[in-house]
Amino acid sequence: MSLRVSVLVVNYGQRDLLHSCLESLQGALRGVEGGREIIVVDNGSSDGSKAMVGTEFPEVHLIELSANSGFAGGVSVGIRQAKGNWILCINNDATVAPDAIEQLLRVAESGGDEIGSAAAQMVFADEPGIINSAGIVVDKLGVASDRLLGEPVDASETKPVEVFGASAGAALYRRAMLEEVPFEESFFAYLEDVDVAWRARMRGWRSVYVPAAVVRHHHSRTAVHGSPFKYYWTGRNRIRVLARNATSGQLVRFGLFMLAFDLAYVGFVLVRDRSLAPVRGRIDGLRSWRADRRAGAPYRGDVDLPVFLGLRAALRRAGYSP
């Protein structure tokens, strides 16, 4: 039996934040008509998260993994078991406003069959007047960034607008789209939503930003902002996103600019944080370049991308930690 919406939370070692997340989801789902469910995929936590879910949220479907498969792996497991026509991904360190889920569903369902995803307005939990994400932007260098990151809420649109894609920290996905454009489990963590958004765009799916659907996000609580872990995986997956999605024409025209961007970025991190993790990640990404080019070939095609948001957006993302 299909449901209207499945809410999916991937958790790793964040019992208290997960508790707050699930409380907010239960409250928001009370205002949602139609069948719904909450699924928690636990990536081998040892902090009591699983016991807490079983005891305090017995109606939640808990999937226990023996090891950490990352966000990409965990969300893929959850999607395979979900029964909803829509899949709502919410970070375990986020809480949703009481009407957020219904707002996302209303806009997505009324926008036409080509709407594949809807992005919530994510704000920083510690600074709820500041935007964390209002959808995803990707430029001609393949640099991905969160729309309106660091801007005041007043800078946001007040009505739904089309965007390139949705940040999976608070994103509603149409099941049919994810069946055509699934998450790549080997990404483990970071930029897997960019890969999905880009491939979906090339297949003709559209995404919409819903400013009335507000989600408060404790930014990078699981993987610390500016950590070697985060630098490594974002660097690795930056290269893989390019390999899988950039057209040959894009690589020829902008390849030198892409190289200049990456050299500038890793140099910035080396000077500021004394970290070579972005370099190691990019080198590992290059090792799978040919395989990723082949994997992305069935999806690859031209899409409109803005000119060079690039270095400024990336440095803003790297440096913004309220």
Q: What is the pLDDT along the chain (322 residues), one digit of tens a residue?
A: 689 999 999 999 999 999 999 999 999 999 999 999 999 999 999 999 999 999 999 999 999 999 999 999 999 999 999 999 999 999 999 999 999 999 999 999 999 999 999 999 999 999 999 999 999 999 999 999 999 999 999 999 999 999 999 999 999 999 999 999 999 999 999 999 999 999 999 999 999 999 999 999 997 655 566 789 999 999 999 999 999 999 999 999 999 999 999 999 999 999 999 999 999 999 999 999 999 999 999 999 999 999 877 556 655 555 554 4
Helices (H), the chain: 15-29, 49-56, 70-81, 100-110, 175-180, 192-202, 228-245, 248-273, 277-287, 289-296, 310-319
Residue 185 neighbours by CB under 8 Å, 6+ apart:
69, 70, 72, 73, 76
Q: Which CATH number fits domain 3-217: 3.90.550.60, 3.30.70.3040, 1.10.3720.10, 3.40.50.300?
A: 3.90.550.60
What is the rounded distance in angstroms from the CA atom of residue 147 to the CA atom of residue 161? 12
The 8-class DSSP code of residue 168 comes to T
Q: How far is CA 19 from CA 11, 53, 171, in A?
A: 11, 8, 20
pLDDT of residue 226: 74
Residue 103 neighbours by CB under 8 Å, 6+ apart:
210, 212, 213
What is the rounded distance in angstroms from the CA atom of residue 147 to the CA atom of residue 316? 11
State pTM to two decimals. Answer: 0.94
- β pairing state of 84-90 and 3-11: parallel
Decide: 175 and 59 in contact? Cβ < 8 Å: no
pLDDT of residue 156: 98
Decide: 319 and 273 in contact? Cβ < 8 Å: no
Instruction: Give the pair of three-digit tokens for residue 179.
Output: 């069946």
pLDDT of residue 321: 46
- Number of Cβ atoms within 10 Å of the Cβ of 40: 26
pLDDT of residue 315: 55
In the chain, the amino acid numbered 164 is F
CA atoms within 13 A on the CB side of 61: 14
What is the rounded distance in angstroms from the CA atom of residue 124 to the CA atom of residue 133? 9
Decide: 16 and 98 in contact? Cβ < 8 Å: no
pLDDT of residue 312: 63
pLDDT of residue 319: 55
In the chain, the amino acid numbered 87 is I
Nearest to 79 by CA among 4, 166, 9, 164: 9
Start and end residues for every CATH 3.90.550.60 domain found in the chain? 3-217
What is the rounded distance in angstroms from the CA atom of residue 100 to the CA atom of residue 215? 7
pLDDT of residue 313: 63
Helices (H), 58-183: 70-81, 100-110, 175-180
With H, G, I as helix, E, B as strand and everything else as coil, classify residue 141. Answer: coil
